[in-house]
Structure 1
Amino acid sequence: MIVDKNIILKRIGEKPILIDVFKSQNTHKQPIILFCHGYKGFKDWGAWNIMAEEFAKAGFCFIKFNFSHNGGTVENPIDFPDLDAFGNNNYSKELQDLNDVIEWTVEKFKDNPNVDINNLNLIGHSRGGGVVTIKAEEDSRVSKVVSLAGVADFGNRFPKGQALDQWKKEGFFYVVNGRTKQKMPHFYQYYEDFKENEERLTIRRAASQLKKPHLIIHGDNDTSVSINEAYALHQWNPKSQLNIVEGADHVFNTRHPWNNKALSTELKSVINLTTTFIKQKPAKAN
């Protein structure tokens, strides 16, 4: 296995993106998986590195990255020293980040016979599930998409009523990070960007119009994102594949830090379901 950690994708006028690549040394034409972390997440969270290794062993070129405004930095990609960046994050920036990582991936591996740039697949966890669903619908380079404990609606996650008015008046509100105990800001631009781009950022629209294979995986013990959001995604795209993992919480019974060498049974199920889904050839039309 070849592992390249913390590759820096520099961009003109934009914050850099940190990227990890896990791939087999000799497997020919490995399908690509791009993994997007969720809210208050990062590429090195918990068991994601072991998950990446398992996908590489299964014959994939697995790529994960930190969104540029997730609050981490090139020097410290695990904690959140750049709270100003976190406050200035929004869904449009995350879609642009993902686009730039796709372009970087295609350019990097276009002449590599061991990587198949024409078989490029997206997995998004939690909030990242919404991001990849939108991107898959609008980008012809994406072959298949997996929503992993994914959200179905960005709009209903914003404050409403008096709380929204207060946010607009003050320009920010804080959320507490349970792990680091930091007060993490959301600046009002976050909501403004959503309203300005609401049609594009409506996951229901993207899921309903999606014309490529779509896998939805959700745990029935998820207290962070309701299982009803998985059912909604499946209802909007009846051709999608829905798998419920019994007893799985939002992070499939892992945590940060994850000091075990083995994965949880529930995350193993995720890897097996995803591997089968991506490697399955599309059914031939009658």
Structure 2
Amino acid sequence: MRKEKNIILKRQDKKPILIDAFYSEYKSNQPTVIFCHGYKGFKDWGAWNLLAESIAKVGCCFIKFNFSHNGGTMEDPIDFPDLEAFGNNNYSKELEDLNDVIDWSQNYYQNNSSINTSQIWLIGHSRGGGITILKASEDSRISKLITLASVSDFEKRTSTTGNLEDWKKNGVKFVLNGRTKQQMPHYYQFYEDFKANKKRLDIESAEKRLTIPHLIIHGDEDTSVSISEAMDLKKWNPKSQLKIIEGADHVFNTKHPWKDSKMPKELKETSQSILDFILG
């Protein structure tokens, strides 16, 4: 398996994006699978590399990347050395990042016979799931969608957490990262961007517009994103498939760092469900 790690996508007047790609050099016409990490996440979090390998092995080009404002840097892509960037992130930037990664994949691999750049599938975890739903609803290049422990509503996570007046007055609010113990800033621009783009950022409307196959995967012991949000997605899009992973938490029983060479059974079941869906 070929692994291309930490490719730098440079962009004019925008922060660069760091990208990984996993694929076979001996198979042809491999579909492009692009993975979006979640809130306080990054491409190398936990067991995501093992998930990438498991999907690439069956004949896919698995691409994962760090959102440009996730708090990592080109030199230090793990954890959050750049809290200023983290504080200036928003949903619109993440949608733009994903679009640029899709464009990059089609340009970077256009002459590579191993990879089919016209067959693009998205996978998103948690907040990244919401981003992929929005993107899939508005971009005809996407032909399949898989969401893992996805959120179903950006508004309640934007406008109902904390005091809006205090947020506006102070210009920033902080959220503790329980693992790194950092106080993670969220500048008020996050709320302003959401309000300005509320219609585009409506996950319910996007889910109802989907015409492509959508696999919804959720753990029944997820305490970060309620399983009811998966049920909502299924209700809004009855043609979607819903897979409940028994005993799985929000990160499918992984953690960071993940030092085991194997996935836990909950993530392995998740990987198999993804494979059954994309190869079916």
Common topology (TM > 0.5):
yes
- Percent identity, aligned pairs only, is 61
Q: Residues 193-212 of structure 1: matches in 2 within 5 Å?
A: 193-212=193-212
> What's the counterpart of residue 81 of structure 2?
81
> What's the counterpart of residue 121 of structure 1?
121
- Runs of at least 4 residues off by over 4 Å: none
Deviation at 1:249, TM superposition (A): 0.3
> What's the counterpart of residue 69 of structure 1?
69
Residue-by-residue CA offset, 1:55-102 (whole Å, 9 max, x unaligned): 111211000000000000001000211111000000000000000000
Distance 2:147 2:194 in 1: 21
Q: Residues 37-116 of structure 1: matches in 2 within 5 Å?
A: 37-116=37-116
Deviation at 1:159, TM superposition (A): 4.5
> Structure 1: where are the runs of 5+ without partners?
281-286
Deviation at 1:160, TM superposition (A): 3.1
Deviation at 1:162, TM superposition (A): 7.0
Residue-by-residue CA offset, 1:179-216 (whole Å, 9 max, x unaligned): 11111100000000000000000000000011111110
- 1:135 and 2:119 correspond: no
SS in 1 for 2:78: coil
Deviates more, 1:204-213 or 1:49-58: 49-58
Q: Residues 216-227 of structure 1: matches in 2 within 5 Å?
A: 216-227=216-227
Which amino acid in 1 is paired with 2:25? Q
Residue-by-residue CA offset, 1:11-70 (whole Å, 9 max, x unaligned): 000000000000012011111110000000000001011111111112110000000000
Distance 1:16 1:159 in 2: 29
Distance 2:117 2:273 in 1: 22
Aligned length: 280
> What's the counterpart of residue 234 of structure 1?
234
TM-score norm. by structure 1 comes to: 0.96
Which amino acid in 1 is paired with 2:222? D
Shift of the 158–261 alpha-carbon distance from structure 1 to 2, 3 Å rule, reads: same
Q: Residues 26-37 of structure 1: matches in 2 within 5 Å?
A: 26-37=26-37
The answer (yes or no) to whether the contact 2:159–2:191 under 8 Å persists in 1 is no
Deviation at 1:270, TM superposition (A): 1.1
Shift of the 210–111 alpha-carbon distance from structure 1 to 2, 3 Å rule, reads: same
Which amino acid in 2 is paired with 1:242? L
The answer (yes or no) to whether the contact 2:158–2:194 under 8 Å persists in 1 is no
Which amino acid in 2 is paired with 1:54? S
Distance 1:151 1:70 in 2: 18
Residue-by-residue CA offset, 1:248-276 (whole Å, 9 max, x unaligned): 00000111010000101111111111111
SS in 2 for 1:81: coil
